[in-house]
Amino acid sequence: MIRWLSNLRERGLGTRSATLLAAMAAAGLLAAPVAWHVEGRNGLAAALTAGLACLTGSGFALVAGEPFRAAGRVLPGMLLGMIFRMGVPLATAVVFYGRSGGLASPGFPCYLVFFFEIGLLIEVFLSLPVAARRPRRAEGSDNIVSSTE
């Protein structure tokens, strides 16, 4: 399982973006029944809006950091991605803060924090480059063993 997860980081941008989308959709499936039960239709709309804002921010961060990831310069890519990762959800929160009605529900900031944490975890994991694998040595030998065995 861990090997499968680490192989995701070796994939292209499209596969990593689809993984981010799938993880955020799974988080949405967890949040939707809670939002419906606690606040009804308005809670569901608030959870959906928070999820979409965080998905958009994390997606932009993944794309923005890609050129830096390919060049092996992770820190500038993470810093640039942080602008999108935090900026889009924060702007969404500011827009809905002063409004009254469904999306200004008390649960909206909670949904925003929930989806932000999921997006942060997945996007940062997928943005990190894969460490170079060192060849293994056979026990008691100086011969290098192929890593495909």
Note the pLDDT tens digit of each residue in 92-145.
888 887 766 656 667 888 899 999 999 999 998 888 877 666 666 556 556 665
Check residue 70 and give its pLDDT: 72
Residue 53 pLDDT grade (very low, low, confident, very high; cuts 50, 70, 90): very high
At residue 7 the predicted structure's pLDDT band, cuts being 50, 70 and 90, is confident
Q: What's the start-to-end Cα distance of the chain, in Å?
A: 18
Q: How many CB atoms lie within 10 A of CB 108?
A: 24
Give CA–CA dist 35/29, Å, rounded. Answer: 10
**What sign results for the dihedral spanned by CA atoms 45, 46, 49, 52?**
negative
How far is it, in rounded angstroms, from Cα 51 to Cα 18? 15
Query: Quick one: pLDDT at residue 133?
Result: 60
Mean pLDDT in residue range 50-73: 89
Q: Tokens 């529900």 sit at which residue?
A: 105
Closest C-alpha to 122, from 20, 6, 30, 51: 20
